[in-house]
Amino acid sequence: MPRHDENDPLHSAAEAGGGNSQPHDVPDLPAPRLARIILTVALISYLGITVLNLLGTKLPTPSLLTSLVCLGLIFVLQLRHSGVAARRAPAWQRCATLGAQALLTYLPIAVFHSQWGAMAGFLAGSLLLLLPGRWAWPAYGLVGLSMLIPPTLDNLSIQETVYLCQSTLLTGLVVYGLSRLASLVQALHDTRSQLAGLAVTKERLRFARDLHDLLGYSLSAITLKGELIHRLIPSHPGRAMEEVSEVLAISRQSLADVRVVSSGLRTMSLEQEMRSAQSLLEAADVEVRVEIRLDGSVDRQVDSVLAAVLREAVTNLLRHSRATTCTMTATRDEDWVRLSVSNDGVDPSYRDVSPHSGSGLGNLRERLLSASGVLTVTRGSGDTFELVAQAPARPLRRLADPDDTELGVRDPAA
């Protein structure tokens, strides 16, 4: 028999995706196969009760064999009706199988009378499972009331008559409840498998996004400084040695960032990134103006998100423009933090359509959404370009689903 926790996909996905997101209060749920086994055993038990009732009447062998065949057919029909596929079948199929079960239920009553009455409970349960609600419950009640007739014809006592009616209704509820429970357990396990797949996909996207942000900026910086060193070696070897030291520092920091990116605990400082970007752009002969007015504390998540936005903006500036000036400002206005990066040297007709052009703006959109922020991209007159990122200094939601908000990338030139 399967264990209750066998093949739990959510637990495996949590281990693959970081392991910290699985809830601790999820109850131990039966496996779908175990739920089906419980349902099947319950149905067999009800069949066994009917067989015992028939044996108690000392029927002739042909009649007993006929009853066993009918019981087998009812059991097969009930297993079909208790499955998820039966409720999705066309209406004519459901009517046909319910009609067959009704005939196998009521025709033997003419021969076996009250001893066959337990089988009406299966029919009552099937009606609840397959008919629409406005028809199912009245039909269920009529089946229960119909079981008042056989004991009355057999001149049984009122207690036995009421017992047969009540047992029929109770059997119908048990069959309906166990069948729905088995279906719900299967649906729950399917949903957990889908959630596990989504968790793994989300973790992969996060890892790819972080690597893009880290390596895109760092490799651009290393490439730029490598070209600068190549030019400085013949005429300014001392300055070239200083640049080599900076390249080593950038490469060590990149290596450290890559090592911790899988844990999801990497944090950055916007102010530090602005100083680092200023140094990098000045090395590329770009005139840089920096303004930082962050009065008061800024949420660590917002600080990291805006620092990542700045990195991507600087990376795009180095890759896709021939900027001579760049202005970077970081200000806090009441409850909002605003980062602005503007530069010249942009080709208005430029569109990178290569398959490996990256997903920088998409990554920034995802990051800002996690901090309830918004990204605005503006292409001004001539060759100017401005990127503005805004986010609450202390966001209400630590984590946000991109599908649950309308905030995102706005590009009026797109």
The rounded distance, in Å, linking the Cα atoms of 115 and 109 is 8
Tell me what pLDDT residue 7 has: 44
Under a CB-based contact definition with an 8 Å cutoff, are residues 373 and 408 in contact? no
Tell me what pLDDT residue 396 has: 60
* pLDDT per residue of the chain (414 residues) written in tens, 0 to 9: 334 344 444 444 444 444 444 444 445 556 788 888 888 898 898 888 888 877 777 777 887 788 888 888 989 999 899 888 888 888 888 889 999 999 888 888 877 776 776 788 899 999 999 988 889 999 999 988 988 888 887 788 888 888 888 888 998 999 999 999 888 888 888 887 788 778 777 767 767 766 766 667 777 778 777 887 888 888 888 888 888 888 887 787 777 767 666 555 557 788 888 888 888 888 778 899 999 888 767 888 888 888 888 888 888 888 778 888 999 999 988 788 999 999 988 866 655 444 344 445 666 777 788 778 888 888 877 788 889 999 888 766 544 444 433 333 334 333
Query: Which amino acid type is present at position 173?
Result: L
The rounded distance, in Å, linking the Cα atoms of 328 and 334 is 20
Q: CA dist 151 to 34, 86, 116, 350, Å?
A: 37, 33, 11, 89
The rounded distance, in Å, linking the Cα atoms of 292 and 210 is 25
Under a CB-based contact definition with an 8 Å cutoff, are residues 280 and 269 in contact? no
